[in-house]
Amino acid sequence: MTAGLDAVQATPDVAPRRKGARTQWVRRFMRNKGAVVGAVVLLAWGIVALLGARIAPYDPTETLELARRPPSAAFWFGTDLLGRDVFSRVLVGSQISLQLGFISVTLCAIPGVLLGLVAGYKGGWWDTIISRVMDAMLAFPSILLALVVIAALGPSIQNVMIAVGVATVPQYARLVRGSVLSIKQLPYVEAARVVGNPTWRIMLHHVLANAYAPVVVLSTLQVGNAILIGSGLSFLGLGAQPPIPEWGLMSAEGREVLRRAWWISTFPGIAILTVVVACNLVGDGLRSAFDPRMRVDG
């Protein structure tokens, strides 16, 4: 009992140590050149998403009666089949695609983390039921599970966010469950139980608070994955609907004339590529920063 009280009373010293740990992982992250480049690219796209409608030279839905014009000084990325400026549509579409990625991750992270926390900490039949449901969902590829949700809800950009979120919930649940199973055996968690902290407080403040690192890494990687899946669904006609300037839909609109008007699909595709690669670089950098045992190459 005395040891437990001493452990809890020592908690004021935890804050400085956590602050020092945060400083260390930031330094490790900054030493990873690839991760820094990825972060800069994501920041740049974030600024474009915020200002896209203001800096776009043309209305992204306006038809200019100049269909399939190649890239030029007047139209940097050319025009599409209806004469709309591709550059303006890529700029405005960045807001839609980034929203799709971040909202989808939020929709899957919150329930996934909570389910994994309950399964790992409670154990017993809680763990059995949650794990079996997650295993059943993991048996389906993410894109296939998203297609099932879209088929039930109907095609729209909002339903794509829900579909992608539902499809990736099991990954968070399994990740958090594994972390919680090891963390709940640590002495400071036992000390928190001894002094009478309620279960919910132990789960949130002592267990989950120390399992955030892998969740942050997975979330960063999943933003790019969500954008990729969402763009794929829009490419198939199951996501964003015309005339919404979403990158996947824009790529689909130019597939029939790819040889004669390559720019219609190429520039939205490059936008998807840069964001997904940047998310992967940042995710890898965070993983290396949170785990000092990993060698950081840069």
| pLDDT level of residue 16 (50, 70, 90 thresholds) | very low
Predicted structure pTM score? 0.82
| pLDDT level of residue 212 (50, 70, 90 thresholds) | confident
User: Average pLDDT for residues 149-167, to the nearest whole number?
Assistant: 88
Residue 127 falls inside a structural domain: yes
Pick the closest to residue 113 from 42, 165, 191, 153 (CA basis).
Answer: 165
Residue 284 falls inside a structural domain: yes
Pick the closest to residue 248 from 150, 140, 108, 110 (CA basis).
Answer: 150
**CATH assignment at residue 109:** 1.10.3720.10
Q: What is the pLDDT at residue 270?
A: 94
Axis crossing angle, helix 86-122 with helix 157-183, rounded to the nearest 10:
30
User: Average pLDDT for residues 238-255, to the nearest whole number?
Assistant: 87
Residue 96 falls inside a structural domain: yes
Residue 254 falls inside a structural domain: yes
CA pair distance 290, 294, nearest whole angstrom: 9
H helix intervals, 154-211: 157-183, 187-194, 199-201
Spatial contact of 100 and 158, defined as CB atoms under 8 Å apart: no
Q: Which two three-digit tokens encode residue 114?
A: 């909570």
Spatial contact of 32 and 296, defined as CB atoms under 8 Å apart: yes
**Share of residues in the chain with pLDDT > 70 (%):** 90
Return the residue matching tokens 């936008």. Answer: 271
Residue 12 falls inside a structural domain: no
CA pair distance 222, 218, nearest whole angstrom: 6
Q: What is the pLDDT at residue 62?
A: 82
* Average predicted confidence (pLDDT) for the chain: 83
Residue 46 falls inside a structural domain: yes
| pLDDT tens column, 113-146 | 999 999 988 888 998 999 999 998 888 888 888 8
Structural domains in the chain (count): 1
| pLDDT level of residue 239 (50, 70, 90 thresholds) | confident
Q: What is the pLDDT at residue 21?
A: 56
Residue 12 clears pLDDT 50, i.e. is over it: no
Residue 6 falls inside a structural domain: no
Q: Which domain holds residue 191?
A: 27-290
CA pair distance 14, 20, nearest whole angstrom: 10
| pLDDT tens column, 19-78 | 555 677 778 888 888 999 999 999 999 999 998 888 888 888 888 778 888 999 888 999
Residue 245 clears pLDDT 80, i.e. is over it: yes
| pLDDT tens column, 89-115 | 999 999 999 999 999 999 999 999 999
User: Average pLDDT for residues 204-214, to the nearest whole number?
Assistant: 82
Residue 49 falls inside a structural domain: yes
User: Average pLDDT for residues 197-204, to the nearest whole number?
Assistant: 81
H helix intervals, the chain: 2-9, 14-31, 33-55, 86-122, 124-138, 142-153, 157-183, 187-194, 199-201, 212-235, 247-253, 263-290
| pLDDT level of residue 280 (50, 70, 90 thresholds) | very high
Q: What is the pLDDT at residue 292?
A: 54
| pLDDT tens column, 255-277 | 888 888 899 999 999 999 999 99
Query: Is the pLDDT higher at 211 or at 46?
Result: 46
Query: Could you give the C-alpha distances from 241 to 156, 227, 236, 263, 266, in angstroms and in order?
Result: 7, 16, 10, 20, 19
Pick the closest to residue 250 from 100, 102, 81, 95 (CA basis).
Answer: 81
Residue 85 clears pLDDT 80, i.e. is over it: yes
Q: What is the pLDDT at residue 255?
A: 86
Q: What is the pLDDT at residue 10?
A: 36
Spatial contact of 289 and 233, defined as CB atoms under 8 Å apart: no
